[in-house]
Structure 1
Amino acid sequence: MTARAKIFNAGQTAILWGLPIALITRAHRRSASQSRTPIVLGWLLLAVSVAAVLVHGLAATTVPIAVIGAVIPVLGKLTSQMAMSTAAVRISDDAQRKVDLVRSRGRDAIAVARAIDEVKAAASVA
C-alpha cells in the first residue's frame, strides 16, 4: 500500500469515527431529551465506520486484526457516551419550555432591533 493510500484510509477512518461522536456531543449540548436525529445518525455512521474498517482490515490484514480495528470505534463511542450521560443535566419538560421561551424572546428582540436598524438606514438614504 502506498503512503498516499495509507493517509487516505486514515483520514477516512477518522471521519467515519469522529463524525458519530461529534453528532452525539452536539445533540447532548443542545437538548439531550429532544434530539433523537443526531443520536440515530451517530449510531448509523458508527455502523458504517465499523463495516468500513472491518472490510478494509479483512482485505489488508488478518481476521483478528480486522476485528480489533473494527471494535476500537465502538469502544470510543461507548466511552464518550458514558462520559456524556454522566455529565448530562436532565431537566423537566416544563423547564425546557421555559428555556425555549427565553431563547425565542431573545431571537425576537434581535429581529426587532435589526428591523429598526434597517428602517433607520433606509430613511437616512432617502
Structure 2
Amino acid sequence: MLTGLKKKHKLLITFVICILILVIPFLLIQNKLNELEEKVMIYLQEDKGYSSSDIRLIERDFDRLPRYSIWITFEDESFVRYQYIEKRNNIEQQTYEINEESVDGSGKLMKETDINPNNLLHFDSPKAVERRY
C-alpha cells in the first residue's frame, strides 16, 4: 500500500512539474508583452501626442524578430499597421505593413503602387522597412 501511495505522489509531482514547465514561459512572455504594450502606449501618448481614441487596434507579437513587438493600427490610417519595439530602453517604430486588401476613401481597392511611404500619416522611422501582410 505504501508503494502505491509513493507512485501516486511521484505521478502528482511529475504532473505539477510538467504543468509549471508549460505555464511559466507563457506567463513570462505575456508579462513582457504587457510591459511593452504599456511602454508603447506611454510613448505614443506622451511623446507623440496621440490619444487612445486615435488607435484602432493594438496587436502583440512574439514570434518574429525582434522577439517582442507591438503593432498599432491608427483610426485614420486603417490600411497600415506600425511595429514598435523596445531598443536600448527606448521605444521606436521598427517597420510598417500595408494590408493588401485595403480600400481608399472612395472604396477603390488600393494597390501597392498607390501607397507612397512619404505620405503615410504615422511613419516616423527612417530605418523602417515596408512589410506586407
TM-score normalized with structure 2 length: 0.26
More helix by share: 1
* Greater RCO (Cα-Cα under 8 Å, separation 6 or more): 1
TM-score normalized with structure 1 length: 0.28
More strand by share: 2
